[in-house]
């Protein structure tokens, strides 16, 4: 039998013994009271016989006139009754002393046994809680170790964007980009699903990007794209946007728009089963300026004809993005 089971059994046994002794105390008390009543009845007969004999002797010693004789007999009877009460009280005190002793003895023993059982039970509860806590910590450590091992072996897909063309053409913005998805992990990225969009903003990049990302969920149907470890998947992107329908911002006596390219890739890994992973990134189309600062704005009414070497993609930093 395991030690914990034995300890629980011992604690329960000791507590039960304490209850048993308490019940035994009540039974013994009832028995003692009954025995005391019977004993007192027996002693009452003995005292009665003694009184009757003593009364006869006292009465025999009485003599004299009738009035004196009557008084003598009355005194004799009164003395006998006093003797009877004294003897009865003495017997009752003796019985009460015996009963009190056993009450204290059994109650003390019951308290000791019950206390020991309670201590055993409390210690067992403490040991059980400690065992549960240790098991929980061990489980967390195992889960953490599995996560570390999974991260070391699964696929990791990164995103890179190269600008190709940004120009105005027939009152429209023409944008062409090359989007590269590279697997930096040790396992193939499977069921790769790509989501991307060019947002025309007034500069409120974070709110628009987050709203778009929140609507993206893993596809219901498995995709066919596969990226092996170390390989790169190239995805061309192009867009035409009418210049009259973009939301221009106003400031410093000019109207301008801020293009924001958002992209997400959702995928699974061959070593993680049905678990989905995702990488979210956002980029601004930027132009270098003489002061080395990037210009991510494009003015209304200005004609643009930018090629790859004339611009670059500046990654916009967000918090709480996938991977």
Which range has highest mean pLDDT (42-56, 130-144, 197-211)?
197-211
pLDDT at residue number 103: 74
Q: Is the pLDDT of residue 274 over 80?
A: yes
Contact 113, 62 (CB under 8 A): no
**Confidence label for 20 from pLDDT (cuts 50, 70 and 90):** low
Are the C-beta atoms of 313 and 284 separated by less than 8 Å?
yes
pLDDT level of residue 89 (50, 70, 90 thresholds): confident
Give the Cα separation of 24 and 27 in Å (integer): 5
pLDDT at 164: 97
Question: Is pTM beyond 0.75 here?
Answer: no
What are the φ/ψ torsions at residue 222 (nearest 5 degrees)? -65, 135
> Would you state the pLDDT for residue 219?
72
Find, among 280, 180, 189, the residue nearest to 232 by Cα: 180
3-state helix vs strand vs coil in the chain, percent to 5:
50, 30, 20
Q: Is the pLDDT of residue 321 over 50?
A: no
Instruction: Return mean pLDDT, the chain.
Output: 77
- Give the residue among 239, 315, 313, 314 at the shortest CA–CA distance from 280: 315
Cα–Cα distance between 42 and 157 in angstroms, integer?
Answer: 104
Whole-number Å distance between alpha carbons of 177 and 313: 10
**pLDDT, tens digit, 9 for 90 and up, residues 224-269:** 789 999 999 999 999 999 999 999 999 888 999 999 999 999 999 9
Ranking 151-165, 262-276, 308-322 by mean pLDDT, the lowest is: 308-322
Q: Which residue has the tokens 């109650």?
A: 107
Q: Specify the CATH number for 157-315; select among 1.10.3720, 3.90.1280, 3.30.420, 2.60.40.
A: 2.60.40
pLDDT at 2 over 80: no
The tens digit of pLDDT for each residue in 160-197 reads: 999 999 999 888 999 999 999 999 999 999 999 999 99
Q: Is the pLDDT of residue 37 over 50?
A: no
Asked which of 120-124, 132-136, 139-143 is least confident by mean pLDDT, the reply is: 139-143
**pLDDT > 90: percent of the chain:** 35
From CA 113, how far away is CA 267, in angstroms rounded?
A: 66
The encoded tokens of residue 64 equal: 């004299």
Nearest to 190 by CA among 128, 273, 123: 273
**For residue 193, what are the β-bridge partners?**
266
Question: What is the model's pLDDT at position 11?
Answer: 54
Least confident of 61-65, 117-121, 224-228: 61-65
Residue 213 pLDDT greater than 80, yes or no: yes
Q: Is the pLDDT of residue 152 over 60?
A: yes
Angle at 48 between CA 44 and CA 54, to 5 degrees: 145
**DSSP secondary structure letter of residue 293:** -
What is the pLDDT, as a whole number, of residue 106?
81
pLDDT at residue 188, rounded to an integer: 95
pLDDT value, residue 64: 56
With vertex at residue 23, the alpha carbon angle to CA 19 and CA 27, rounded to the nearest 5 degrees, is 165
């Amino acid at each position: 039998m395991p030690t914990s089971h034995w300890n629980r059994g011992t604690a329960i046994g000791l507590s039960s013994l304490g209850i048993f002794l308490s019940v035994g105390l009540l039974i013994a008390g009832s028995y003692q009271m009954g025995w005391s009543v019977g004993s007192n009845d027996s002693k009452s007969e003995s005292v009665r016989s003694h009184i009757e004999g003593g009364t006869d002797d006292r009465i025999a010693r009485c003599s004299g006139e009738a009035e004196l004789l009557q008084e003598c007999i009355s005194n004799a009877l009164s003395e006998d009754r006093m003797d009877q009460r004294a003897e009865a009280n003495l017997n009752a005190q003796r019985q009460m002393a015996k009963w009190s002793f056993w009450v204290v003895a059994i109650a003390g023993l019951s308290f000791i046994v019950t206390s020991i059982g309670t201590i055993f039970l409390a210690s067992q509860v403490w040991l059980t809680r400690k065992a549960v806590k240790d098991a929980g910590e061990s489980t967390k450590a195992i889960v953490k170790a599995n996560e570390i091992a999974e991260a070391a072996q699964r696929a990791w897909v990164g995103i890179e964007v190269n600008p190709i063309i940004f120009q105005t053409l027939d009152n429209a913005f023409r944008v062409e980009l090359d989007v590269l998805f590279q697997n930096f992990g040790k396992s193939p990225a499977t069921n790769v699903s790509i989501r991307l969009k060019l947002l025309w903003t007034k500069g409120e990049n974070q709110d628009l990007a987050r709203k778009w990302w929140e609507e993206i969920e893993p596809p219901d149907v498995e995709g066919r794209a596969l990226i092996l470890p170390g390989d790169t998947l190239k995805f061309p992107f192009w867009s035409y946007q009418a210049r009259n329908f973009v939301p221009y911002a106003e400031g410093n006596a000019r109207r301008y728009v801020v293009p924001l390219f958002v992209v997400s890739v959702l995928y699974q890994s061959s070593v993680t089963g049905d678990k989905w992973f995702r990488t979210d990134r956002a980029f601004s189309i930027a132009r270098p300026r003489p002061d080395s600062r990037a210009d991510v704005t494009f003015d209304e009414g200005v004609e643009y004809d930018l090629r790859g070497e004339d611009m670059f993609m500046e990654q916009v930093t967000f918090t709480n993005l996938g991977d």
